[in-house]
Amino acid sequence: METFLIRALQLIMSLSLLVIIHEGGHFLFARLFKVRVEKFCLFFDPWFTLFKFKPKNSETEYGVGWLPLGGYVKIAGMIDESMDTEQMKQPEQPWEFRSKPAWQRLLIMVGGVLFNFLLALFIYSMILFAWGDQYIKIQEVPHGMDFNETAKAVGFRDGDILLSADGVPFERYDGDMLSQIVEAREVTVLRLGARSSIAIPEDLMQRLL
Which residues carry out catalysis? 23
| Residues pairing with 190 in the sheet | 161, 195
| Full strand arrangement of the beta sheet holding 161-165 | 168-169, 161-165, 186-191, 194-199
Q: Using an 8 Å Cβ cutoff, are 17 and 42 in contact?
A: no
E strand intervals along 45-108: 51-53, 61-64, 67-75
φ, ψ at 102 (rounded to 5°): -60, -40
- Sequential DSSP letters for 93-147: -TTSGGGS-HHHHHHHHHHHHHHHHHHHHHHHHHHHHHH------GGG-TT----
Q: Which amino acid is at 173?
A: Y
Question: Among residues 196, 195, 169, which one has the least CA distance to residue 180?
Answer: 169
